[in-house]
Structure formats: structure tokens, C-alpha cells
Amino acid sequence: MAGAHLPICSVIFSGLLCFVYFYKKRIKLVENNVFSVMLIVSVIDSILVSVLQLISKNGIQGFESVIVEVFNKLDFITLIMFTNCLFLYTMLITYDRVRKNFGKIFKLSAALDFVVIIFVLLNNVEVISKGGNYSIAGASIFITIVLCAIY
């Protein structure tokens, strides 16, 4: 359970942040829409990581490894989405020209995300166990890291 404390705190903090953000009335701006998606993805990611930590606290055997692989791939997808939103949000608040061409930039980044997500889903994630510690390896991780670095 010790490994789950931080992700559970993240779920609570992200949930409270979402509650405060969505409780208040907002101006209809593209930046606010992107930030809203980023907040929701952050909560989903926190929940996924918390579940992964709770599943693996007593070890991973048999069918649990399939669940861990699926949850890790979902986690990679949320990381890609979060990084894309962070990129778009930063571009929107930094450059005025981006607001005028946001549709093109959004379509390009969404197409790139879609292609990478397909690769993530088709490639493997291996669960590595060493003395009670668990890690993951595989092509899906590498692909996710590369796209996040590009953003």
C-alpha cells in the first residue's frame, strides 16, 4: 500500500482541482477548453496509476499481468493526451498566431496522436519482476516517450 499513497493523493488533488475549476463559471475560450480536457485526463491518469499500484501490491500472477498491460497502455494513452494538451495550451497562451491557426494545429496533433496510439496499442508491454519490485518494458513505452519528447 505504501506505493499507492502518492497516486491516491494525486486522485484526491486532481479531483478537488477539477471540482473547483468546473464549479466556477468560465469564459468560453479555446484555452479554457484545452485546460478542461487536460484536467479530466489528469484525473483519469491518476486513477489508472492508483489502480495499477493497488493491483501490484501483492505481486502479479497469471491474469493480473494482462490487466496490468491493459492499464499501462491506457496510462500511456492518457500521457500522450495530457502532453498534447499541455503543448496546445502552452502554444495558445504564448503565441497569438496559434489562435488563428488552432484548427490546423489541433488536427495535425490529433492525427499524430491517433497514429501513435495505434502503435502503442499494437505493441507490447512486458511486466518485469525483480525481488518484489515491478517495472515495465517494451515498444509501447519507447513510442510514448518519443512522442512526449517531440511535444
Distance CA 108, CA 73 (A): 22
Distance CA 47, CA 15 (A): 10
29 band by pLDDT with thresholds 50, 70 and 90: confident
pLDDT of residue 133: 65
Distance CA 138, CA 21 (A): 37
Q: Which residues contact 136 (CB under 8 A, 6 or more apart)?
A: 68, 72, 125, 126, 127, 128
Quick check: 40 and 18 in contact, CB under 8 A? Answer: yes
pLDDT of residue 132: 63
pLDDT tens string 80-91: 999 999 999 999
> What average pLDDT does the segment 117-138 reach?
80
Distance CA 87, CA 92 (A): 9
> What average pLDDT does the segment 123-131 reach?
76
For residues 148 and 66, which has the higher predicted lDDT (pLDDT)? 148
Distance CA 62, CA 55 (A): 12
For the four alpha carbons of 80, 82, 83 and 89, in that order, the dihedral sign comes to positive
Least confident range of 13-17, 24-28, 126-130: 126-130
Quick check: 109 and 87 in contact, CB under 8 A? Answer: yes
> What average pLDDT does the segment 13-37 reach?
91
Distance CA 19, CA 22 (A): 5
pLDDT of residue 103: 87
User: What single letter denotes the amino acid at residue 116?
Assistant: V
> What average pLDDT does the segment 16-20 reach?
93
Looking at every residue in the chain, the average pLDDT score rounds to: 87
pLDDT tens string 84-111: 999 999 999 998 888 888 889 999 999 9
